[in-house]
A = this chain, B = another copy of it.
């Protein structure tokens, strides 16, 4: 692509390293950025550097934060004896948005996936066990996704925790609220059936 100036080629290369951004999108983004007002470009570049420089893991739950403890772990009003285990920070955010969960979290930063070469030691599982051994935890709610990897990870964690005597639960999986049954896949329908509750 030597018909582009070096700075453009470099920018396209850098952008296409980001997840979900292919060569075409990277080109579109690069030209958009070049066409943006100078102030907006600075704001974007500074936001990138600023986040990287100031954000790190919460030493307790491993979510991203700019303090030693994240606002959730630092909040005495939350129930620190209930830990919800999530795959990533976006899943934590999804549950926080509901406003219906008052416990704390543990972010694994991944799932066990033999296909992707991710084993138990590649996610923040050791750190979870350390927490359980040091804190007075009554329940661990496993909220990994309902994908094969999410289920495998949930099973693995539950087997690991069971011997400690701490209660382990799994979020329900079934038909999403408001969904027409005809649009739901068979696996979910079977899961909803076997997980039925008495009324």
Contacts and interface: CB of A to CB of B under 8 A. Distances in A.
Nearest to A13: B47
A88 interface: yes
A6 B53 CA distance: 13
A93 B18 contact: no
Interface in A1-57: 1-8, 10-11, 13-15, 17-20, 25, 27-36, 38, 40-52, 54-55
A89 B43 contact: no
A71 interface: yes
B55 A49 contact: no
A54 B17 CA distance: 22
A123 interface: no
Integer count of this chain's copies in the complex? 2
Contact of A7 (B35, B50, B93): B50
A6 B71 CA distance: 12
Interface string A48-91: 11111011000000001111001110000000000000001110
A122 interface: no
A6 B14 CA distance: 25
